[in-house]
Amino acid sequence: MLILVRHGESTGNAAGLLLGRIDSPLTERGLGQARSLAATVAGATRLVSSPLARARDTADALGTGLPVEIDDRWIEVDYGEFDGQPLGSVPAEVWARWRSDPTFTPPGGESLAAAGLRVRAACDELFADPDGPARGDGVVVVVSHVSPIKAAACWSLGMGDEGAWRLYLANASVTRITWGPGGPVLAGFNHTPWSDPD
């Protein structure tokens, strides 16, 4: 099984910022959210994280005892000149372009399609691994961000990157992907300790 964990609340999230590659530390609430996921990821055999501190700190707070492997493919989308800006200050026409065109690239940033390519490659690699989530008891936990986790969910559903706009993902949420006879299966999406007590 592949368990995708969105990092806990960061200071940028709490301030309502569009948060891409800017490093924004976890709030105390975010650290608590991350710790609350320990039981959810118990039994993990591998722990992978985005290189950003909010993801690495969440990975550490899970308490798996596993070494944290950094994989740059799980980093958040680069929002370019809009990174770190209040959500409400992004012009309406920019949101419209993003929602209508997965190849739209903000100035100095990255498109959802480009992010989708790297995430899909990471998913393919994980599920091809003989000791990975498609075989035996392999449970891989990946700590990442909104856009990469949505891209992985779209990959599992055989959808294009435009599907990301139809998904909502909370801080410190858990998404599960398994492997079925025909390929990946989305087994759970956007579960939190508060809505998914298991």
pLDDT by residue, tens only, the chain of 198 residues? 999 999 999 999 999 999 999 999 999 999 999 999 999 999 999 999 999 999 999 999 999 999 999 999 999 999 999 999 999 999 999 999 999 999 999 999 999 999 999 999 999 999 888 777 766 678 999 999 999 999 999 999 999 999 999 999 999 999 999 988 889 999 999 999 754 333
Amino acid at 179: W
For residue 166, what pLDDT is reported? Answer: 94
This prediction's pTM: 0.94
Q: Mark whether 7 is an active-site residue.
A: yes
Q: Indicate which residue of 9, 76, 110, 145 is catalytic.
A: 76
- Give domain limits for the chain: 2-191
Q: Mark whether 191 is an active-site residue.
A: no
For residue 194, what pLDDT is reported? Answer: 52
Amino acid at 33: Q
* CB within 8 Å of 31: residues ≥ 6 apart: 8, 57, 61
**Order of strands, edge to edge, in the sheet holding 140-144?**
68-70, 46-49, 140-144, 2-6, 174-180, 183-191
Number of H helices, E strands in the chain: 6, 6
Q: Indicate which residue of 7, 9, 110, 145 is catalytic.
A: 7
Which option is the CATH number for 2-191: 3.40.50.1240, 3.30.43.10, 3.40.50.1100, 2.60.40.10? Answer: 3.40.50.1240
CA distance 104 to 89: 18
